[in-house]
Amino acid sequence: MSKRCYYEVLGIDRGAAPEVIKGAYRKLAKQHHPDRNHGDTTAEVRFKEINEAYDVLKDDQKRAAYDRFGHAAFENGHGGRGANGFDFASSFTDIFDDLFGEFTGGGRRGRRQNRGQDLRYNLEITLEESFRGHQAQIKVPTAVACETCNGSGAEKGTKPEQCPTCSGIGKVRAAQGFFTIERTCPSCHGQGRIIRSPCKACHGAGLLQKERTLAVDIPPGVEEGTRIRLAGEGQAGFNGGPTGDLYLFISMKPHPLFQRDGHDLYCRAPISFVTAALGGSIEVPTLDGGKAKVSIPEGTQSGRQFRLRGKGMPVLRGGSMSGDLYVEVVAETPVKLSKKQKELLRAFETGCEPGCQPESEGFLAKLKEFWTGAASA
């Protein structure tokens, strides 16, 4: 059976750049790898074909010979250690380093560096602090690099040694027939290094637990659940790896006067039934510490809202934009009335003309209609 063209196997053009060849190989090798296709003999054959093609096309000299002579360039043992010049061990190493290096710490990087953990801090602020912006002082318990050994984990005057078993990779490989098995190095436990004289301060860990005080700027307009990322303020990395991040999650304390909905504020203000009936004006507080005047028209009913534009919360990163303040008025029923006041109210009710109390009159009309319908049913 004749072999397929190597370019056809990888699905690329003859003039493809090296990075295109590698990208095509990575995609196909992942798809047809035997570990992902257990018992599929077709995938195993395809996997061998893909690796054979990549082994030739990734090498400039082999590729030049193939472009000139085709498959005949590698017949009779020329061009490599395996059949048809295919060095399977080399390509299988590529699979681990190129395809799975991201999961094994990068295979050939030597000393393994791990990024520090991200941290979460829950910060509760007041509505006024959200309105004006706030600088909070927070204390964060975290792991920091040991100052005694500068994070190396080795006693002063010494330094960690490269693990002789794995040559600093952190993993060892063993050939078992067709496959190469990779496992964590038993000598260094995957660290890629051995510390002969551990630092007495951190006991070889290179990290110490410490509480840090940070000044955090809370911008105006933050809401409940807002997340603020502080890059590099998390836990220190291992072996000099990058530091993690700190995430602040904002929560709001309840306010005695205002309720918030997005950028808008809501306030409930009681008014006398005289003001509700005859009209007038009231003063309401604003979150900036000032006052605002609200005009109450004649005949105002409980529950009516009045909108004060621009008196709400600032819009986060919205420049000078702000929400609105909604004032809901509630007509208050007087209590502890004197005998004379009660007499005046009864006289008022007796003298009311039709249409004086429209909501009550409308409700009574609906009741009569309902009872009439129920009686005839």
Residue pointed to by tokens 């195993």: 44
Contacts for 108 with CB less than 8 Å, ≥ 6 apart: 97, 101, 169
CB atoms near residue 56 (< 10 Å): 26
Contact by Cβ (8 Å): 206, 148: no
Question: C-alpha distances in angstroms, 314 versus 125, 226, 327, 352, 376?
Answer: 16, 14, 18, 47, 59
The single-letter code of the amino acid at 313 is M
Contacts for 76 with CB less than 8 Å, ≥ 6 apart: none
For residue 40 the two structure tokens come to: 């599929």
H helix or E strand, kind and range, residue 193: strand 193-194
Tell me the C-alpha distance between 209 and 203, whole Å.
Answer: 12
With b meaning 16 or more CB within 10 Å and e meaning fewer, what string describes 180-202? eeeeebeebebbbbbbeebbebb
Tell me the C-alpha distance between 331 and 111, whole Å.
Answer: 75
Q: Report pTM.
A: 0.55
Q: What is the pLDDT along the chain (377 residues), one digit of tens a residue?
A: 578 899 999 999 988 888 899 989 989 988 888 777 877 888 888 988 999 999 899 888 888 888 888 887 776 544 444 444 444 444 444 554 444 444 444 444 444 567 878 889 999 999 999 999 999 999 988 777 888 888 888 888 888 888 888 888 888 887 766 667 888 888 887 888 888 889 988 888 888 888 888 999 999 999 999 999 999 888 877 666 788 899 999 999 999 999 999 999 999 999 998 999 999 999 999 999 899 999 999 999 999 999 999 999 999 887 789 999 999 999 999 999 999 999 998 998 888 888 787 788 788 888 888 888 777 76
Q: CATH class for domain 6-99?
A: mainly alpha
Contact by Cβ (8 Å): 190, 112: yes
The backbone torsions φ and ψ at residue 161, rounded to the nearest 5 degrees and listed phi first, read -105, 150
Domain boundaries, the chain: 6-99, 258-332, 339-376
First to last CA, the chain: 92
At 75 the pLDDT is 66
What HEC string does 16-46 produce?
CCHHHHHHHHHHHHHHHCHHHCCCCHHHHHH
State which fold the 258-332 domain adopts: HSP40/DNAj peptide-binding domain (2.60.260)
